[in-house]
């Protein structure tokens, strides 16, 4: 079943074999055995790709849940023997996964050294599906409002975040501290790509402030926060990013945050977990750790 999941996700028996340290004939034989067991074809060839059939699509959800239950049983039984080597699979977007979770993982290790955190960085839609399939235990994501409801998934607000305008410390805007929305038209912008939630938030708030939205449609659009930071540092313009993503550069004096008069770009950091009457103890512990970290107080 694990081989099936990897083959489904990679679309390649060759990559599956490499990932699981198996030979390609062994992978092919396992899939033939699985198809014989269920009496249906699970994959079909389309050019060079191995594509799941409708039966394969249906089996994928069951397979994720089966593997999760197996791993849960294994970890719980090890816990009874005093071998708490449990694993928590965490999904996060670009900002949280790159700029927050590594630090949080290090701090959590000092609290629970035997719990292993596996971090997956992906798009929200993808890791919410993985949460439903029980391949992830917890998801962290940013949104202005409560994320779209998903059956069987609980969303909780964890912390406040803000998207801010930042420039190199030597940029003309750095000495200003605050500018009017219209003044942005006099400078170059380095923006995120089409479809980015951060870009969408910036676009909406600047449009509300009277800045022509076509101003954001410039040739330089980059696909992640780190690329935006490097372009801004190189003097290609100003950018927008989460405070979490630039706090280190600001503390080192490399970037300056510039306020936009009358404009705020607030959003929240959310955690999402499956609704369960009996959640894993290590998941409860990690969730409590997150709330205590961002909201220290007697609630913890």
Within a domain: residue 179?
A: yes
Q: Which strand (E) or helix (H) includes residue 165?
A: strand 153-168
Tell me how far the alpha carbon of residue 208 is from its chain's centroid: 28
Q: From CA 158, how far away is CA 94, in angstroms rounded?
A: 17
How far is C-alpha 29 from the chain's CA centre? 35
* Average model confidence (pLDDT) across the chain: 85
pLDDT, tens digit (0-9, with 9 covering 90-100), for 59-78 = 998 898 888 778 767 766 66
**Domain end: 26, 42, 66, which one?**
66
Flag whether 120 is in a domain: no
In a domain, 277, yes or no: no
Q: What are phi and psi of 218, to 5 degrees?
A: -105, 165
Is 127 part of any domain? no
Q: Is residue 293 part of a domain?
A: no
Both tokens assigned to 273: 């977990």
Number of domains the chain is built from: 2
Asked whether residue 97 is domain-assigned, the answer is no
Residue 257 lies in a domain: yes
Q: Give residues with Cβ within 8 angstroms of 286, minimum separation 6.
A: 88, 108, 112, 115, 117, 138
Our measurement of the distance from residue 163's CA atom to the centroid of its chain's CA atoms, rounded to an integer in Å, reads 17
**Per residue in 125-146, pLDDT tens?**
778 888 887 788 999 988 877 7
43 is in which domain, residue-wise? 1-66
Q: Cα(117)–Cα(76) distance, rounded to whole angstroms?
A: 16
Q: What is the CATH number of the domain that holds 52?
A: 1.10.10.10
Which residue among 18, 33, 66 closes a domain?
66
Give the pTM: 0.68
The answer to whether residue 42 is domain-embedded is: yes
């Amino acid at each position: 079943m694990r081989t099936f999941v990897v083959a489904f996700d990679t679309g390649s028996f060759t990559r599956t074999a490499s990932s699981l340290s198996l030979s390609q004939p062994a992978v092919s034989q396992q899939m033939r055995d699985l198809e014989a067991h269920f009496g249906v074809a699970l994959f079909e060839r389309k050019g060079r790709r191995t594509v799941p059939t409708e039966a394969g699509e249906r089996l994928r959800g069951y397979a994720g849940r089966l593997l999760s239950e197996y791993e849960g049983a294994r970890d719980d039984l090890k816990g009874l023997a005093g071998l708490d080597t449990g694993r928590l699979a965490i999904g996060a977007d670009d900002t949280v996964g790159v700029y927050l979770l590594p630090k949080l993982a290090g701090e959590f290790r000092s609290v629970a050294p035997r719990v292993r955190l596996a971090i997956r960085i992906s798009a929200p839609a993808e890791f919410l599906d993985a949460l439903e399939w029980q391949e992830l235990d917890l998801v962290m994501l940013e949104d202005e409002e409560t994320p779209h409801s998903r059956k069987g998934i609980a969303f909780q607000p964890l912390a406040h975040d803000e998207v801010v305008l930042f420039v190199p410390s030597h940029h003309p805007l750095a000495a200003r501290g605050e500018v009017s929305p219209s003044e942005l038209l006099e400078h170059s912008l380095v923006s995120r790509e089409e479809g980015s939630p951060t870009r969408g938030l910036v676009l909406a708030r600047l449009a509300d402030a009277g800045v022509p939205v076509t101003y954001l449609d410039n040739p330089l659009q980059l696909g992640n926060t780190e690329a935006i930071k490097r372009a801004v540092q190189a003097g290609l313009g100003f950018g927008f990013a989460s405070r979490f993503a630039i706090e280190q550069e600001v503390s080192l004096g490399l970037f300056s945050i510039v306020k936009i008069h009358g404009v705020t770009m607030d959003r929240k950091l959310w955690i999402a977990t499956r609704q369960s009457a009996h959640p894993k103890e290590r998941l409860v512990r990690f969730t409590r750790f997150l709330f205590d970290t961002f909201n220290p107080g007697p609630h913890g």
